[in-house]
């Protein structure tokens, strides 16, 4: 499964956030996963459509899609040179499919900041500098090798050229994720180099009531981290929220002037950042969301349920969620001509409610 690695300086609230994530996982009903690893939080992706489907189909269970977060401990200044957990830290980041950077934006004078002052912008720079330095080393070594190989017509010239562009972006102090667009670098061309800053980034700002209410502060931060998404939450509040029953939690949120829990927002943005989407199946037993990559075809989507479904795929009966809700049942949707028979080239759309037909 794809995972998002959580990184951040010490004392910014990573553990608090991660504990909330793992608590949310434990509390999630109908949890379909057997093993719970200490440094992985598998949290449900909130999807109100599943409740509606369960109503329509009288489903006994609801099984949401999930998003996996890995706690990657130990970034400090100098990590790229082996300070702190150093190399292990870099190896753990390399394994993650996206990077979620937690940054402190709360003022509490009782909590010490490692660099002596609370400045989200400086924290981001400290962390990104370590990742950029690690990437510069990787690219530098690769370029020496590629140059030799290209000379004797053995190397990949596309990779060589792309690696040179990547090096330039990194030398300017930018992450590849942030700089690729302007430099017209196609990140897929350098995927074999496994560079850390080429992964998608999400930034979480652990803030307080003042920060949550301050739109100009949030907009300023959003500009700094673009094209990455920024999420503003209060990790302490989130960790209290996950302990409550859903109704109570909703009340607390409303009192706080929020319409969505920070963790839910993080799961949603994380899922999207990983390039994932869901399709839905429903019946009396369960209403369920299945995870696929954006752009997948119907047979590929069927393969997520069972490999036999992909191999024996004949067709898919697809009703959009909106049409199903509007007509009220599969039978009504069929009668209204809203149920489509799609073949093997059909590209799945978010919110498709599907029944696959297949040969076993």
Among the listed ranges 106-114, 171-179, 213-221, 310-318, the one in contact with ligand GDP (CB under 6 A) is 106-114
- State which residue, 175 or 207, has the beta carbon closest to ligand GDP: 207
Which of 15, 39, 167, 300 binds ligand GDP (CB under 6 A)? It is 15
Residue 13 assigned ligand-binding role: yes
Q: Is 11 among the residues that bind ligand GDP (CB under 6 A)?
A: yes
> CB within 8 A of 91, min separation 6: which ones?
none
* Smallest distance from ligand GDP to CB 348, Å: 38
Other residues' Cβ atoms within 10 Å of the Cβ of residue 94: 14
- State which residue, 235 or 242, has the beta carbon closest to ligand GDP: 235
Other residues' Cβ atoms within 10 Å of the Cβ of residue 214: 16
* Smallest distance from ligand GDP to CB 251, Å: 20
Residue 14 assigned ligand-binding role: yes
Among the listed ranges 52-60, 105-113, 247-255, 351-359, the one in contact with ligand GDP (CB under 6 A) is 105-113
Place of tokens 């608590």: 23
Strands 313-320 and 352-358 come out as antiparallel
Q: 179: closest CA among 167, 189, 192?
A: 167
Residue 355 near residue 282 (C-beta atoms within 8 A): no
What is the footprint of ligand GDP within residues 22-51 (CB under 6 A)?
Answer: none
Among the listed ranges 7-15, 119-127, 251-259, 335-343, the one in contact with ligand GDP (CB under 6 A) is 7-15
* Smallest distance from ligand GDP to CB 76, Å: 11
Residue 102 assigned ligand-binding role: no
Which of 25, 92, 206, 327 binds ligand GDP (CB under 6 A)? It is 206
The count of residues interacting with ligand GDP (CB under 6 A) is: 16
Q: Is 262 among the residues that bind ligand GDP (CB under 6 A)?
A: no
What is the distance, to the nearest Å, from the Cα of residue 241 to the centroid of all Cα atoms in its chain?
21
* Smallest distance from ligand GDP to CB 86, Å: 17
Alpha helices, H only, the chain: 14-27, 48-57, 86-95, 120-151, 157-171, 176-179, 209-213, 215-225, 235-241, 246-255, 262-273, 298-305, 307-311, 321-327, 330-335
Q: 261: closest CA among 52, 99, 46?
A: 46
Q: What per-residue string of b and e applies to 139-178 under the rule 16 or more CB within 10 Å gives b?
A: beebbeebeeeeeeeeeeeebbebbebbbebbeeebbbbb
DSSP 299-310: HHHHHHH-HHHH
Residue 221 near residue 122 (C-beta atoms within 8 A): no
Site string for ligand GDP, 219-258 (x = CB under 6 A): ---------------xxx----------------------
Q: Is 174 among the residues that bind ligand GDP (CB under 6 A)?
A: no
Which of 5, 13, 120, 211 binds ligand GDP (CB under 6 A)? It is 13
> CB within 8 A of 242, min separation 6: which ones?
20, 23, 24, 27, 249, 263
Residue 16 assigned ligand-binding role: yes
Q: Is 106 among the residues that bind ligand GDP (CB under 6 A)?
A: yes
Which of 37, 95, 108, 260 binds ligand GDP (CB under 6 A)? It is 108
Q: Is 16 among the residues that bind ligand GDP (CB under 6 A)?
A: yes
Q: 69: closest CA among 124, 14, 135, 134?
A: 14
Residues near ligand GDP, by CB under 6 A: 8, 10-16, 106, 108, 111, 206, 208, 234-236
Binding site residue list: 11-16
């Amino acid at each position: 499964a794809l995972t998002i690695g959580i990184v951040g300086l010490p004392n910014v609230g990573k553990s608090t956030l991660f504990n909330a994530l793992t608590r949310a996982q434990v509390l999630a009903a109908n949890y379909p996963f057997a093993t719970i690893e200490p440094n992985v939080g598998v949290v449900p992706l909130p999807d109100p459509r599943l409740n509606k489907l369960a109503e329509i189909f009288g489903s006994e269970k609801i099984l949401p899609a999930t998003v996996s977060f890995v706690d990657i401990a130990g970034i400090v200044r100098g990590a790229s040179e082996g300070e702190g957990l150093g190399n292990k830290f870099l190896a753990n980041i390399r394994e993650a499919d996206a990077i979620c950077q937690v940054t402190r934006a709360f003022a509490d004078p009782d909590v010490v900041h490692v660099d002596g002052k609370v400045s989200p912008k400086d924290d981001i720079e400290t962390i990104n500098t370590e990742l950029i330095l690690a990437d510069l080393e990787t690219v530098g070594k690769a370029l020496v090798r590629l140059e030799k190989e290209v000379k004797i017509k053995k190397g990949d010239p596309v990779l060589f050229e792309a690696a040179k562009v990547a090096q330039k972006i990194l030398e300017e102090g930018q992450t590849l994720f942030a700089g690729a667009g302007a430099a017209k670098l196609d990140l897929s061309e350098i995927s074999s180099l496994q560079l850390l800053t080429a992964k998608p980034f999400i930034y979480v700002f652990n803030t307080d009531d003042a920060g949550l209410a301050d739109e100009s502060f949030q907009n300023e931060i959003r500009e700094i981290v673009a094209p990455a998404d920024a999420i503003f939450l209060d990790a302490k509040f989130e960790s209290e929220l996950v302990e409550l029953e859903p109704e109570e939690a909703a009340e607390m949120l409303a009192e706080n002037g929020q319409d969505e829990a920070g963790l839910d927002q993080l799961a949603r943005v994380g899922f999207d950042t990983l390039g994932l989407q869901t399709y839905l199946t429903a019946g009396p037993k369960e209403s369920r969301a299945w995870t696929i990559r954006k752009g997948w075809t119907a047979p590929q989507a069927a393969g997520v349920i069972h490999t036999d479904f992909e191999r024996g795929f004949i067709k898919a009966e697809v009703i959009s969620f909106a049409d199903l809700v509007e007509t009220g049942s599969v039978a009504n949707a069929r009668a209204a001509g809203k149920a489509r028979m799609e073949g093997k080239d059909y590209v799945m759309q978010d919110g498709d409610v599907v029944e696959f037909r297949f040969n076993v």
